[in-house]
Amino acid sequence: MRSPLSPSTPLVLVTALALAAAAVGMFLASRPSIPEKQPDVRVRADRVILISLDTLRQDHMSLYGYPRPTTPNLDAFAAKSTVFTNAMSQAPYTLPSHMTMMTGMHPLSHNVRYHQDRLAENYVTIAERLQSTGFKTAGFTDGGFLESRHGFDAGFDVYDDKAQPGWVANNGFRRRSQQLKDWIFQRQRDRFFLFFHTFDCHAPYVTDDDAKAALAGTTAVVPEGARAFPDPIARLKKFRIHDYMKLDQYASIDELIDAYDATIRFVDQRLGELLTTLETLGLLDTALVIITSDHGESFLDHGVYAGHGLTLYEEEVRVPLIVKFPGGRFAGVRNADVVRLIDLYPTICAACEIDTPIQVEGIDLEDALLDRDTEPRVALGESPNFADHKSEGMDGVTNYVRRENLKYIDGCKIGVQALMDGHLGRVAPGEPYYDLKNDPLGMKAIVSTKPQLFDLTNDPHERVDLAAQQQELIERIRPRLTMQWDAALAIREVVTQGMKPAEIEDTIEMLEQLVQQGYISVADFERRKQVLEMRKFQEELDRKEREKKKDAEAPAPAESGSKR
């Protein structure tokens, strides 16, 4: 059984949290206060629906101004809900980002960042918190990084994480629409928490004919960074940083983006049907509905790759966030404050009128809407994929900090290390850097080994690095970032009481899935598979050895005349 923190711990934790708050404090003058729409009276949420549409890039949704009609249902739903335009993810890939949604904590604090990590027992997930107050809970996912083995099933009465055999992404809504409706129908009289996650927008993009037809006559928006190359698709095919993108089927980057946009249109259609079901059953009015994503998707925006998981630019870490509060509160509001995925947990607790566990690092979104934040929220995130392995704190992990429209991205440590060791190299002049010793196949491009600074007001696509002109500011940010991560480690220590979480053992099936999703390279897969096979072989040898020993120790059978 998990339990919240013991009464003896909060003081240490409060100190750690205060340290964290101080660390992320002002590094710019305070923002002007923006009056928001006056709220109506809070209505308690008796149903919570959290939907994570994996890999949904915010600026490819018509809801956020994309010129193609990719999200007509969400565009309509916006009239009933609140649209956050600067919601930030805490990591550009599935596992840590979803665990952040579940725990309200930064990846470094919940410590589920690598594929063998499992959430330690002492954390209290949002499903556990709601279940303990009488909510019926169910989670439906396409599996992969959201499987139970990472601890995602904690607190769910039902957690269906079965991936379709021969996993090819893109089948969540196709497989689950009816299942979701059935579950809602069965539970319509209960207080419930429903979590749904789908890889429908994740590559390889599986397009639906109707969705494709709906976008016909409109054109894909190709990022400026990609347009800088004479033949962007040829470049992507040359580097093949993510094999799972299945790039050979596309003759141009426009075709690739067409396919991606069509997956968004398909998801929007199915989402619309789900919302209609809730409305028809009369459940929508008192429900808290949160629709978001774990990260975005890059299309050579910064000259690196198509896909996600490595860089911390806005195309990967700014996510859609649409929240429908119970009783029509904040309906039709668009809020531009920087908010974070860590804020979902306390928002759910506040809407349900239950306490938020003290270790949760986020803040209720209502505070932003009511202009109750005393300071702007600071979004922090990390790209664990750049780390050597199990890096702690600032060491080896690339971080970003965003406060209002100022965005800082840390220099990539592995790049610095590779540079110092003399094996940082380029495959060709003008190409990205690779750590050629640890990554001889050039699977993980190193974007920058220097800190970068961007002013998103004048430069929303992070094209102009201001770091060189703003050294003093960078020197003020860096120690605060270090303090923040120290605080996160302190929080983790207190929550886990120093206990190391159990690691998940590799299985061939799990490794195969990671390759398909593009999270490990084929070379890495082969190496780990070999280790597993060697281990199995050794276990078999040991077993035989033990049997031999047992036979030798057993008393010799009595002589009999039956020997032939």
The binding site for Zn ion (CB under 5 A) comprises: 54, 94, 294
Decide whether 55 or 356 has the Cβ nearer to Zn ion: 55
Indicate the SS3 state at residue 373: coil
Task: Write down the least CB distance from residue 415 to Zn ion, Å.
Answer: 24
User: Residue 470 has what DSSP assignment?
Assistant: G
Distance between CA 256 and CA 222 in Å, rounded? Answer: 10
Task: Write down the least CB distance from residue 2 to Zn ion, Å.
Answer: 25
CA distances from 436 to 123, 129, 444, 538 (A): 38, 46, 10, 32
Decide whether 294 or 364 has the Cβ nearer to Zn ion: 294
Task: Write down the least CB distance from residue 309 to Zn ion, Å.
Answer: 8
Decide whether 142 or 343 has the Cβ nearer to Zn ion: 142
Residue nearest to Zn ion (CB): 94
User: How many C-beta atoms lie closer than 10 Å to residue 1's C-beta?
Assistant: 4
Decide whether 54 or 364 has the Cβ nearer to Zn ion: 54
SS (H, E, C) 29-71: CCCCCCCCCCCCCCCCCCEEEEEEECCCCHHHCHHHCCCCCCC
Task: Write down the least CB distance from residue 200 to Zn ion, Å.
Answer: 11
Decide whether 294 or 462 has the Cβ nearer to Zn ion: 294
Distance between CA 444 and CA 204 in Å, rounded? Answer: 19
Decide whether 145 or 330 has the Cβ nearer to Zn ion: 145
CA distances from 221 to 62, 86, 497, 510 (A): 12, 20, 49, 35
Decide whether 484 or 517 has the Cβ nearer to Zn ion: 517
Distance between CA 64 and CA 75 in Å, rounded? Answer: 9
Task: Write down the least CB distance from residue 536 to Zn ion, Å.
Answer: 31
Element spanning 84, H or E: strand 82-88
Distance between CA 244 and CA 85 in Å, rounded? Answer: 30
Task: Write down the least CB distance from residue 371 to Zn ion, Å.
Answer: 32
Non-local (6+) Cβ contacts of 409 within 8 A are 312, 313, 398, 399, 400, 448, 451, 452, 453, 454
Task: Write down the least CB distance from residue 55 to Zn ion, Å.
Answer: 5
Decide whether 112 or 278 has the Cβ nearer to Zn ion: 112
Task: Write down the least CB distance from residue 543 to Zn ion, Å.
Answer: 40
Task: Write down the least CB distance from residue 54 to Zn ion, Å.
Answer: 4
Distance between CA 201 and CA 262 in Å, rounded? Answer: 9
Instruction: Residue 274: name the closest of 363, 182, 402, 400 by CA.
Output: 182
112: amino acid identity, one letter: V
Decide whether 135 or 386 has the Cβ nearer to Zn ion: 386
533 contacts 541 by C-beta, under 8 angstroms: no
Task: Write down the least CB distance from residue 94 to Zn ion, Å.
Answer: 3
Element spanning 536, H or E: helix 522-553
Instruction: Residue 276: name the closest of 268, 325, 174 by CA.
Output: 268
Task: Write down the least CB distance from residue 547 to Zn ion, Å.
Answer: 46
CA distances from 450 to 161, 484, 512 (A): 40, 20, 35
Tokens of 371: 């202009």
Decide whether 92 or 326 has the Cβ nearer to Zn ion: 92
Strand 158-160 with 192-198, pairing: unpaired
Decide whether 62 or 94 has the Cβ nearer to Zn ion: 94
Distance between CA 44 and CA 33 in Å, rounded? Answer: 28
Decide whether 92 or 432 has the Cβ nearer to Zn ion: 92
Given CA atoms 170, 175, 181, 183 in this order, what sign does their dihedral have?
Answer: negative
Task: Write down the least CB distance from residue 88 to Zn ion, Å.
Answer: 15
Indicate the SS3 state at residue 306: strand
